[in-house]
Chains A and B, each alone.
Chain A
C-alpha cells in the first residue's frame, strides 16, 4: 500500500485548499521583494567593483527619492500582506465551523503518549490511531490531552492545533473525497514521538455508516482497565503486543471526554483516578443511546 497522503500543497480538503492558495499568494508577493535583491546585490557589487571605473561618490549618503522608495516599497507590500492575513486568519479560525454543507460529524480526541484516542460521542464508540469519517461532511473536532502538550495535525486536510491537559481546543476540517491521509503529533513528547502517527480515513457516506455499525457491535467494550492501559506511555503497537485490548471500542461512556478534561476550576486532585471513576459513575448510563441525545456534560459549552 502507498503511504498515506501528507503534503498540504496537494490538498484533499477545504481548509488545506485555502492554505495552499494563501501559501502561493505570499510566495508570489515576497518574490517581488526578494527577486530584485537577489539580482541587485551581485549586480551592484560587480558594477561598482574596485577595479572598475564607475562613478565614485564617497560622501554621498542620502536621497529623499531613494528614502521614499525603500520605505514605501516594504510598507506597501506589508500592507497588502496584512490585509490578506487578517481576512484569511479570521476566515480560517480553526475553532469556528467550516462554511460547507452537511451534517457535522463530532469526534473528541485525546492525546496520549504516544497514541491518539478518537471518541465518537454520538455513537458511543472510540478508536485508537485511526480517524474514520465521511467525505464531504464537516468534521468537528474537540481536543484535549491526558499527558503533555501535543499538536494534532492532518496536513492534507488543514492546520494543526495544540491539545493540552485540562483544556479543550477545537479544530474543524473536511475531506473532499475518499482517501487515506497521514496524521500525526508534531509536538515532541519523548522517545515514541516519531511513531505517534495515525491514519485519517475519509469514506463514502454509506461505507461510513457501515463502519459505524460494525464498530458498535464488533469492537471490544470500553472499560476503566482499557483506559488505564491506553494511558500508559507506549505506542499503539507496543500496547497491543501480546494483549487483546484492540484498537476500537464500543459502549464508550458519553462523558468520557469531559471526565478526562476535568472541571475547568481544577482542584488539586482532579486528575486522580478516583475522581475520574466518580465522574464516569455520575454520568448517564453507558451506551450509545444516552450520548446520542447530546446531553453529556461538556464544560466547553
Chain B
C-alpha cells in the first residue's frame, strides 16, 4: 500500500476543497472572495469560541464539575438545562443565518451578494437547525425539566436513556457545526427531497451531513418520546389520576406519543436515502423501480405530526401560563385535554397537504384538505379556552404573559393562512412560495418558539433560584413580536406576488420593498436575542436581589412550585400526594402548604453514568466518518459504541443513596427560609423583593 493510498484511506473523500477558504484562495473571483470570507469568518468564530470555552474551563478548573456534574449526570433537571443551552447556541446560529438570507434577498433584485450554492447551504442548515436542533431540544429540555416535578416524581423512568437521547441530539448538532469547518453541507433544503439529494444529482458529501444529523436527532427524539410516555404512565405520585394531571403533562405525553409514532418514518426515510447514496439502492431514484414520491410521503408522514410535536408542548406551557397569571383555574380543562388528543390523532391524517401539487386526484386532495381544516376546530377551541381562563381572572402582565398574548394574536393569523393553504386551489398558487415560508414561520415562531421562551421565563426562577429581569424580558418579548411581524408579514405579500421560496435572486423590482422590510425584521429578531442574552447577564449579576429560594415566585398552582428553587437533586424530600388538579394551589388555600414531614427516609437515585458522553463522542465520530467515507473512523467508532454498551451491562452499582439525615437537614433549612421570607403581594411579583413566598391569591374569597 503506497503512501497515497494510505492518505486516501485516512481522509476518505475529504480534500483541501473542504476548507472554507480554499475556493477563494484557488480562484479569487469577487464572488468567491465574498462567500469565502463569510464562510471563513464564521468558521474562525466557531473555532475561537470553542478554544475560548476550553480555555475558560481549564482556567477556572471546571473540568471535574463539567464531567461529574454535567456530562455524566442522569438528573432530568440538568439534562433539561443542557438541552436548552444547546438550543440557545444553535438558535444564535440559525438567527444569524436568517439575517444573511434576508440581507441577501433585500438586495436580491437581479442577484444578491451570496453565491447560489452558499445560499442553498444557508436555507438548508437554517431549516435543519431550527427544527431539529433548536425547537426539538428546547421542548425536550422543558419537558425534561418540568414534567417529573409536575407529577411528583424523582426522575424519569429511564434516566440513562434520557442522557443518551441528549447525547445523540447534541452529536447531531455538532455534526451540523462541523460542516462549517469542512464544507459543504447539503443544499437540498430541510426536507431533503430526492432525487435532488440522491447520488446522481448531489454527488458531493453535503446530503450525507444532512442525513446523519437528522438521523441522530430522530433517534434521540424517539428515545425521549418513549421515556416521557413511560414516565407519565408509571411515575405519577399517589392521587394523580389522569384527570388530575396538569395540562402541561397532558401536552407532554401527547407529544411523546407523536414522537414515538412519527419519528420512525423519518429515520426510515433517511436510512433509505443513505442506502441509495452509499450502496446504490434505488428506493428514490426514477430508474430500477424506485419512486421519489415515496420519499415525499414518508417524510411528511413524519413531517406533519412533527408540526404538532413542536406546538403541543407550547400549548401545554400556555395553559400553565394563562392559569397562573390570571390567578384562576384553567377554563374547561377536560375540553382542553380532548382537544389536545384530537389534534394528535388528526395530525396523522393530513400529510398529503404538503404535496397537493404532486398529482393526486382531486378527491384525494379535497379529503386531505378538509382533514387539515379540521385541525382548526380543536385549535380554535383551545384559543377560546385560554381567553376564557383570563375572563373574570386577575391578569398580571409578566414576561411570559407578553409572549402568551403575542402568541394568541399572531397564531390565529398563522392559522388563517394555514386554512388558505389547506385549500388545494389556493395551494396550487402559493405552494413553494414565500407565502408558505411566512405561514410556517407564523406557526413555529409565535407557536413553538414563543411558547418555549415563555417557558424559559416562567420556569427559569425554579431552575436557578432567581428571577430573570422583567424589564429586559419584556423588551426581548416585544422585540420578538415586532421582529416577527416585520420579517414575515411582508413575506405573505411578496409570496402572493409570486416570489418562490429558496430564491437567491429574483427579477421583479416590485419585490424589493418587501424584502427590505423583512430584512429589518430579521435585524429586530437579532436584537431580541441580544436583549435576552443581556437579560440573562443582568439577572445573574443581580441574582442576590432576585433570589427566590423559597420556590414559589408566581403564586403557582402545581407541584413544581411546592419545593425550593433550585429544587434539591431528589426533587421531593417526601413523595407528595395530591388531591386536586391545582394541587399546590389547593394546599395553599387550605393552609396546608410547607408542612414539616413526620418521617424521613433514605432516597435512592440513579448514579452517574459515563455511557452518554462516550456515545456522544463516538456517535459524532461515527457519523463524521460516514459523511466523508473515512471507513477506519467508522469501524473504530462502532467498536467504541458496542464496547461501551457491553461494558455498561457489567456495571452493577447503578444507584446512589442520599441519607435521610441529609434530606432532613436540607428540607428543614428550606422550610426555615420559607417561614422567614416576607410574603410578597402580587404587585411586587417581578420586582426585587419577591422572595418566592407569595401572598397567595388562593386566599382571596370569590
Contact = CB atoms under 8 A, between A and B. Distances in A.
B569 interface: no
A149 B195 contact: yes
A159 B507 contact: no
Contacts of A84: 423
A85 to B, nearest CB: 5
Interface in B362-413: 362-363, 365-366, 369-370, 373-374, 376-377, 380-381, 383-385, 387-388, 390-397, 401, 405, 408-409, 412-413
A288 to B, nearest CB: 30
Interface string B672-702: 0000000000110000000000000110101
Given A89-B369, A151-B357, A166-B286, A37 B409 contact: yes
Contacts of B698: 58
B326 A268 contact: no
B387 A40 contact: yes
A74 to B, nearest CB: 4
A266 B373 contact: no
A50 B395 contact: yes
Nearest to A6: B498
A245 interface: no
Contact of A147 (B201, B362, B502): B201
Contact of B428 (A30, A94, A149): A94
B422 interface: yes
Interface in A54-75: 54-62, 66-67, 69-71, 73-75
B187 interface: yes
Given A37-B412, A85-B369, A61 B332 contact: yes
B391 A58 contact: no
Contacts of A40: 387
Residue of A96, A167, A185 with most partner-chain B CB within 10 A: A167
B251 interface: no
Contacts of B330: 61
A19 B361 contact: no
Contacts of A187: 193, 432
A37 B116 contact: no
A268 B115 CA distance: 36
A19 B288 CA distance: 39
Contacts of B502: 188, 193
Given A34-B413, A56-B392, A188-B196, A88 B425 contact: yes
Interface in A197-232: 197
Contacts of A289: none
* Dominant secondary structure at the B interface: helix
B79 to A, nearest CB: 34
Nearest to B327: A58
Contacts of A167: 359
B333 A6 contact: no
Interface stretch (A21-29, A123-131, A247-255): A21-29
A162 B201 CA distance: 18
Given A23-B426, A45-B395, 10 more contacts: A22-B426, A26-B420, A34-B412, A61-B331, A66-B384, A70-B384, A74-B381, A162-B357, A191-B504, A193-B503
Nearest 8 pairs of A and B residues by beta carbon: A159-B428, A191-B116, A93-B362, A186-B432, A70-B384, A30-B416, A74-B380, A165-B286
Interface of B: 115-117, 120, 187-189, 193, 195-196, 201, 286-289, 292-293, 326-333, 335, 355, 357-359, 361-363, 365-366, 369-370, 373-374, 376-377, 380-381, 383-385, 387-388, 390-397, 401, 405, 408-409, 412-413, 415-416, 419-420, 422-429, 431-433, 496-498, 500-510, 682-683, 697-698, 700, 702
Interface of A: 3, 6-9, 16, 18-19, 22-23, 26-27, 30-31, 33-34, 37-38, 40-42, 44-45, 48-50, 52, 54-62, 66-67, 69-71, 73-75, 78, 81-82, 84-86, 88-90, 92-96, 147-149, 151, 153, 155, 158-162, 164-167, 169-170, 182, 184-195, 197, 266, 268-271
